[in-house]
Structure formats: C-alpha cells, structure tokens
Structure 1
Amino acid sequence: MTRIGARELIGRILDAGRWTSWDTPPRRVAAPGSAYEAELAAARERTGCDEAVITGEGLLRGRRVAFVVSEFGFLAGSIGLATADRIVAAVERATAERLPLLAAPSSGGTRMQEGTAAFVQMARITAAVMRHRAAGLPYLVYLRHPTTGGVLASWGSLGHVTAAEPGALIGFLGPRVYEALHGEPFPPGVQVAENLAAKGVVDAVVGIDELPDVAARALSVLCAGQAPARGGRPRPAAPEPAADDTPAWESIERSRRADRPGVRELLRYGARDVTVLSGTGEGEADPGLLLALARFGEAACVVVGQDRRSQRSGHPIGPAGLRVARRGMRLARELHLPLLTVVDTPGAVLSAEAEERGLAGEIARCLAELTTLPGPTLCVLLGEGTGGAALALLPTDRVLCARHGWLSPLPPEGASVIVHRTTARAAEMAQAQGVRSADLLAAGIADHLLPECPDAAAEPRAFCTRTAAAIAAHLAELTAADPADRMAARDRRLQGPPPA
C-alpha cells in the first residue's frame, strides 16, 4: 500500500495544513564514526526529519490539538532514546496546556541499534500517556501501516478512541520476524486493520481524508467534560405524562415487536456527533451491546446501550458485552462525562461458555462501577428489561421508562415455570410481579414516563425524538446539580424506600 510521510499526514489532517512544531534538536545517541551515526545521517538526508517522530500543535476543525506523528522513513519509525525524549516532552506539554492529543504511530518498534536502553523507553512513554489520561484529557490514536512491536504494545494501544488506516498491518510481532523464528508464515488476514476492528481491538477503519471529521466529531464529545457545567435548572422536555393502566402482558408483547425502535434508532433520530466504538478495545466484541459517544441537545455523553435487533438475531449479551459496557463506564469516569445507559434486553446468554467466562461476575462488576461513578448517570428503560443483563445498566441517578418498557428478574414465562410449573400463566405472573412502567414509577424504580402514542413501533421517529429531548433535559439537569447532592441522592435511591 502507498505510505505517506509524517509531514504530508499532518498537512492533510490539520486546518489549512498549518501547524507549529514543538521539536527541539535530539540528543546525540550514536558514537562518533560508528555505523549507527552514518545510518542516522542517511535517515535525516532521506526524510528531511531529524528523528522518527514529529510533534507539535495545530487546529483540527477549529479545535487546538497536539500531535505525535511517526515518520516511518526514518529507520522504520523506530523508537530510540532521543525519539522517546521527543514523544514524552510532547505528551507532557499537551498535558500541561490541557490539549487533546492525537498520536499517529507507524513503526517497527524498538530501535535495535540502541538495544535494551531503547526498549525500556516504551514504559516511560506509557507513563506519560497515562498521566495525560489521568488529567481527564482525550488521547486519540490513528494506527498507520505498519504499526508493530513495542509501539503497538505501549502508546499505540492506549487511546480513548483508536482508529486504523485501511489495510494497515497492525500486530505485536512483525510477520517477517515470525516467519524467521517459526519457519512458517503468520496466518494471513489476522494482523490487518479491518480484522482487528471486527474483533474489538480498534474502533474503526478510517481513511486519511476522513480522519479530520471523525476525530473532530469524537473530540466534540470527549472534550465536553472539561467545560464547566452550566447553572440553572432546565425545564422538562414535556409535561410529565400520567401512568396508565395498560396490562403488563400487553406492554410485554408490544416491547417484543420486531419493528420497535431501539438504541440505534434513538441515536439516528435523536442524537448528533455520534461516534460508535467497537468492542472492549482489548480483543472482545459483542453485537448485542453498543458503545458510542454522542450529544443529545447540548449534553455530551458516553452511551452504553443494549441493541435489541442484534440480541434477537442470535447475539444475546454475554460476558464480552458487559466488558464493553465497563469500557464505557471507564471512559465516562476518566473524561468526566455523563453516562447514558439504554436497557432493552430479553436477557443474557445462557451457555456453558458464558458461565466459564464469568457472566455473573461481569454483572457484579458493572453494578460496582456504575453505582460508584462520580459523574451524572441516566438510564433509559427502552423496552424489555430481563434479568441480570438489565440490572447491570439500571442503577443510575435517574431512570426514564418508556410506556411499554418493563423490568423483571426473569422472562415472565420463566417466572411462571418456577411458581406454577408451566409457562401458561406468564401474563398473570407479569401482572403480579409489578414489572410494567406504572408499577416501576409507583415503586420509585423509575422517575419519568416516556410516552408512546400508542406504541413506539407505530411512530419510531417521533418517539425517538421525544425520548432524545427528555434525555437532553435530564442530562442537563443532572450535570448542573451539585455533585455532592447528586451523589447523596443516588445513595438514598440505592437504599430503597423505608420500611412501611
């Protein structure tokens, strides 16, 4: 594939192609008269660069950003002592000036001419990146062809959002080294950007000319946590509708309609600046769980939503899906963003594999992380709410419930089997267990009813637009609230109502 240099990449990403260098002359690392000194001189002559990375700042769709971009033509973009000096200095300056950082590695890894001393610099670079992230600042990574070795195993794999160049070779061990060591070629199609996106290692495959818009859209949400919260109490999006007496079983049947809108329609019709992320970023993906960055009105948030269509077409939520949800919770925590959860699930997968991979433990860890998040949290019970998979995303500062949304420890058919030894009394069990929206409001489990006129499936766009307006209003109100008061209210909510 065609490889472009660092300067051309920067020129194509930043506004008007203009940027300001942060680079200073690198320290001397090669012995005078050595072969390595000659290699460095030849690399400088060939690329016009004095090291294997270029750092600096510029504007990305009007937003000031810092960058670290590899020059592969300079000794295969390898990282030596002077290279590490430059990367760390740039990361630390970006942190001090509170700038989002865009990294675009393209490297074979450690500079072999400098050996172990260069190898351990990967830990030093990682520490600088993690200090940047700990400061609540966004770190975006764009993996270019090729990115391998220690670079991928350090600063190349730490992005809040990670994209990759189409067709890029991305892997821990370069295929040439693998073949030399093992006497056979590495399996084809594995270390390719598109495969790694499908497996949840990277979030998206993005062409260079698409990158500015994709990065700017993500930063519009990721940087929102740095802005001070606006004061005031927003008005509700609509008057609070009265709960009705719809039988529980009618709501359950309506919630199971194949044409009922889900989280993807909610984002399509009601949100903007949407960036969908792929999987855990650690090699797991689950189509039943959608993770995204988005804005509802002016409120930016991380969205963790159960995708009803994927679940009902053979992809029920499993342990990997809950780990994707926890990635979203960590993003919200680290970048001081509100978290929106969308509950819409017929229940978690029931299988031997799910048990062996710790399904119950992942539900517990979701509950632990969600209930202790310091930022605002909001749940939308959009449709079905069955079992532990629903509970894992439920305990938030506020819960909005669709008119035909419902919540139950088991599918009503399963509850009927336990109590009556038959599924035939499922409707009776649902009514008795208090699963419907009216019951959830009365019990204080839900706070606000989202109207359906008469059914979300009959008016998908209108329903999603109304729901999005309610989300925007409640997120704005929660964000404007005093954090100590909000956390105290959450604690009271978790304790439940006092004894009668």
Structure 2
Amino acid sequence: MTATELKAKRMTATELIDTVLDAGSFTSWDAPVRRPVIGEKYAADLAAAESKSGVDESVLTGEGLIRGRRVAVIVSEFRFLAGSIGQAATERITSAIERATAEGLPLLAGPASGGTRMQEGTLAFLGMVAITDAVRRHKESGLPYLVYLRHPTTGGVMASWGSLGHMTVAEPGALLGFLGPRVFETLNGTAFPPGVQVAENLYRKGLIDAVVTPEELPAIVDRALRILTPTQGPDPAIVPEVRAGTPSDASAWESILISRNPRRPDLRMLLAAGAVDALPLNGTGQGEKDPGLILALARFGQQSCVVLGHQRPRHKDTPAMGPASLREARRGMQLAEELQLPLLTIIDTAGAALSKEAEEGGLAGEIARSLNELIGLKAPSVSVLLGQGTGGGALALLPADRIIAAQHSWLSPLPPEGASAIIHRTAEHAPEVAAAQGVEVASLTRIGLVDRVVEELPDASLEPREFCTRMGQAIELELANARAIPANERLARRRAKFRTLGA
C-alpha cells in the first residue's frame, strides 16, 4: 500500500472507535482541555487544528464494549497537529490510564502520532515519562494493555506508550519508528532507507505480533481478552476427569525412536486440537524472532495461560533453537508475571543450536537466565515433556510447579548417541547409555520429576488428535493444580522439588 493510499484510507479517531467498539457503546471520558500559556501563533495553530479535526485535542479517551466486554480506549487523532502530544494531551492520556486501572478495565491504545509537540518543547517531551509510569502501574495491576499502531507512529509516542503493549499489532503499511523520515532526511541530507519503518518489516523482525486491518481488530482484541480476562474466573472445583497414565513398558531407546517420528504431534497441533483457543504472539519485541520457539496466549478448558515452547523443525535444514528463542521465552515469562496468568512451557527439542552464531549470541548465558527466571517465577507454572528433551535447550524450559510427560517423551543432557561417543568413543552404545542414564518417563517419574503421565495408545503419531485432546485435558487439570498452590508457598515448593529429586 502506498503512502498516498494510506493517507486516503487513514481512519480518524472517531471512525476507528466506531469500527472497533460495539455500535453505540462508546462513552467519552474527556474533560475540556486546559491549555498551557501559549503565544499567538501557537494559539492560531490550535484553533486551526480544532477546526480541521473537529476535536479539541490530539487524543480521544473513553470506554465502550468490544463484543460485549468493557474496554477503555485511547485513540490518537492525527488531523490535530499530526497527533502530537503536548501537556494537555499528556494529562488526558494519563488520567484515562489511571481511571482504567482504578476500574479494572483492559486498555486498548491506538496511537497515530508524530511524537511530542515541538511548540511546547521540553515539557511536552517529559510528559512521556508520566504516561509510561501510568502504563506501568496499569500492567502491574494485572490488567491487559493492548496496542494498535496506526499510520504513522513515530518519535516519543513510539518510544513510550506505543511500545509497551502486552500484545502489539499494527495497521497494514503503517510507518512506525523512532525517527521520522522527514527529520532524518533534513538532518542527514539523504532519504531514510525504504521499507525499514513499515509494519510488515517490523513483524518480520519480531517487533510486533501481527499486522491487521481496523476491521479485523475487534476479533483479535476479543480473542485476546477472552484468554486474558475471562468473563468468569475458572472454578477450581470443576476440573476435567483425566485418567492417570502410567509410564510405558517400552525401553528408553524405543521411546527415543518413537519420539523422533516426524509424524508425531507437535506444539502447533497441540494448540490446534488440545486448546479451546490460542492466539500467537511474535518475537521478542526487541527485533528478534526464532522459528525454534512458539509464544502464544491460550486457554485449555477453563484455564488461561501464556504458552511458550519448542516448535519441532519441519525440515532438516531448519535452524535449531538459538539464543533468540530464549529471549523470546523470557518475554513470555514476563507476560505471565504481568498478567498474573500461569505459564505453560512445552519441551520438544533435539537440542539447541551448535554454531558460531549461537555462541556469539550468548546461548549459554540465555539458558542460564531462562533457568533463573523460571525457578524464581512468581506465577504458577506447568511444564510438558512432549517429545524429545535434549540438553540445555530442554532444561531451559523445564523448572515448573507441575510437570506432565507424554509416555514416550524423555530428558537427557545429550542425545544418547552423543553421550555414547563421550563414554565409549562410538555412537553404537546409545541404547544402553540411554537406559543407564534414566532418560525415559519411568525413571523421571521414579525420581520425582514427573507429576502426571499422558498415555499414548500406543504411539501419539498413530492417534494425534486423540492424544492432543488427552494432553489438553491434562494441561487444564495441572494448570488448576498449579494455581491452587498458595502464592506464599509456591517458590519454596518449586525449589524443594528440584532440590530433592532422586532422594
């Protein structure tokens, strides 16, 4: 979409509100603005902006319904001095965020702005601190903060409340970035490289979660809020009847071979067939994404959670899980803490990347930081051994309050062939090494690591949907069990579990 087409199709603040909110449900929270001391030219600019836009400031705030659910909204009006934020707009935004927090409402922000208002100088610039603090306190209250970046969003707005969403989506073709291209060209005498500050490129780089039209936005917000703020909280007395599975009689090596079947259900299928709903997120939010990990918001039965897990490569030339995967995983951990939701981790990896890029990207440090975050996570947590569980890449997602294992999953410091090579200088002894190391579910249950086994009848690759349904039910039950652990006991119990394994 060209800049001319975008300009022609750009929605006003009122049009966006009418598109996203249920018809007739919007109620304004805006009080008359109080202007700072201003000169004649600026006063004339403000009067012209009011006349052009039909509104009294560059943002509109209020509340309404999205698919019947109360939501607070803050929407920029770009026609009012390019959506710039001055002292009056800062006060309006901050007051709206604080009211949303006080009333326990999720908040949807729709910025479209050139940044802070140059006519008001440093005071306008400093207003971004107050807005950021209000967003921070909203998120600390466990309330969702969702952002829809519109064309264009740049400067201080992009560098504050535009980039703090739990979930951030953007308008197709939107110009998004820190430095406006006109400013860059004026300062540097050359045009900014094309295609960089565009929504689709930011998605490819893992900076935003999706690119959606305004018409698609209500459905996305509705799905997110169904997971993040269910109309009724889960009833701990209602849990699925899940038959307790037992470890398989198969040998460790037999389970390893079964787990390597490319037809075995993976995380994508588990979310599709085992979850009520799943909404994928994208990347670290810091310019990285790795195909080795999936991050999503999901609901299993009554239980909502943040999901992060290994995505088994579909092609042999797909790169193994790298350090960016674990930085994305830590985004998921932070989301679980902020949203006060359980964290679900899914382990299914043949091992982390062994490469120059992984080493220079700090893979070992990322594994250590992931372990550190998980063992100290304040949120309830459940981990699932879904298939292969090799090395530090598996260990990095393991620490949790409750651990579920598919019958033919396993956990080992190295692939058995690698362990055999170390011990015997040949891979031929892999089956006996696997048995001796106790990598299979029977051994993991015996040492106290695994809390629940999910049956494979006799192999998940032969009954993928049925297996995923059983696993989804087990996840729902164990999420409920993890949530039932008193918050003041959670960390001590988790630490004790890993301190006493095998005792």
1:13 equivalenced with 2:23 (yes/no): no
Whole-Å Cα distance in 2 between the matches of residues 219 and 275 of structure 1?
10
Retained in 2: the 8 A contact 1:218–1:275?
yes
Contact 1:22 1:57 in 2 (8 A): yes
What is the match of residue 217 of structure 2?
211
Residue 96 of structure 2 is aligned to residue 87 of structure 1:
no
The one-character-per-residue Cα deviations of 1:104-137 (angstroms, maximum 9, x if unpaired) are 0000001111111111111111111111111111
| TM-score, normalisation: structure 2 | 0.96
SS at match of 2:32: coil
Q: Deviations over 1:343-367 (max 9, x none)?
A: 0001111122222221111111111
Opposite residue 165 of structure 1, the aligned amino acid is E
Q: Which of 405, 410, 413 is the matching residue for 1:409?
A: 413
Which amino acid letter does the alignment assign opposite residue 222 of structure 1? L
- Which of residues 322, 339, 344 in structure 2 aligns to 1:340? 344
Alpha-carbon distance in structure 2 between the residues aligned to 1:291 and 1:218:
13
Query: What residue in structure 2 maps to residue 143 of structure 1?
Result: 149
How many Å separate the matches in 2 of 1:386 and 1:141?
Answer: 37
For 1:290-309, what aligned pairs fall within 5 Å after superposition? 290-309=294-313
Q: CA–CA distance in 2 between the matches of 1:445 and 1:481?
A: 17
Whole-angstrom CA distance in 1 between matches of 2:372 and 2:232: 27
Equivalent residue, structure 2, for 1:28? 35
Is 1:160 aligned with 2:163?
no
CA contact 2:22–2:65 (8 Å) conserved in 1: yes
Q: Does 1:378 pair with 2:378?
A: no
Alpha-carbon distance in 2 for matches of 1:323, 1:207: 29
1:491 corresponding residue in structure 2: 495
Task: Look up the SS of the partner of 1:294 in the other structure.
Answer: strand
Paired letter, 2:27: T
Matched to 1:215, the amino acid is: V
Q: Do residues 230 (structure 1) and 235 (structure 2) align?
A: yes
Q: Which residue of 1 aligns with 2:3?
A: none
Q: Which residue of 1 aligns with 2:434?
A: 430
- Aligned runs of 1:235-314 on 2, under 5 Å? 236-238=241-243, 240-309=244-313, 312-314=316-318
C-alpha distance in 2 between matches for 1:165 and 1:191? 13
Segments of 5+ residues of structure 1 without an aligned counterpart are none
**Other-structure match for 1:125:** 131
After TM superposition, the score normalised by the length of structure 1 is 0.96
SS in 2 for 1:237: coil
Kept in 1: contact 2:313–2:320 (CA 8 A): no
Would the alpha carbon gap of residues 352 and 342 (structure 1) be closer, same or farther in structure 2, given more than 3 Å must change?
same
Q: Deviations over 1:466-492 (max 9, x none)?
A: 110111111122223433344443232
Q: Which amino acid aligns with 1:7?
A: T
Match of residue 328, structure 1, among 332, 351, 356: 332
The one-letter code sitting in structure 1 at the alignment partner of 2:247 is: A
Question: How far apart are 1:245 and its partner, in Å?
Answer: 2.1
Aligned-residue identity in percent: 59
- Structure 1 partner of 2:64: 58
Deviation (angstroms), 1:273: 2.7
2:359 alignment partner, SS class: helix
SS in 2 for 1:133: helix
Deviations 1:33-82 (A, max 9, x none): x1111110011011110000000001111111101100000000001111
Aligned-residue CA RMSD (Å): 1.6
Q: Counterpart of 1:131 in structure 2: which amino acid? A: R
**TM-fit CA distance, 1:201:** 0.4
Return the letter of the residue paired with 2:29: W
SS at match of 1:171: coil
1:99 has 2:105 as partner: yes
Matched, 1:455 2:459: yes
Q: What secondary structure sits across from 2:112 in the alignment?
A: coil
The answer on whether the counterparts of 2:236 and 2:480 sit within 8 Å (CA) in structure 1 is no
Structure 2 unaligned blocks of 5 or more: 1-5
> Partners of 1:13 and 1:322 in 2: how far apart?
34
2:241 and 2:343 mapped to 1: Cα distance?
19
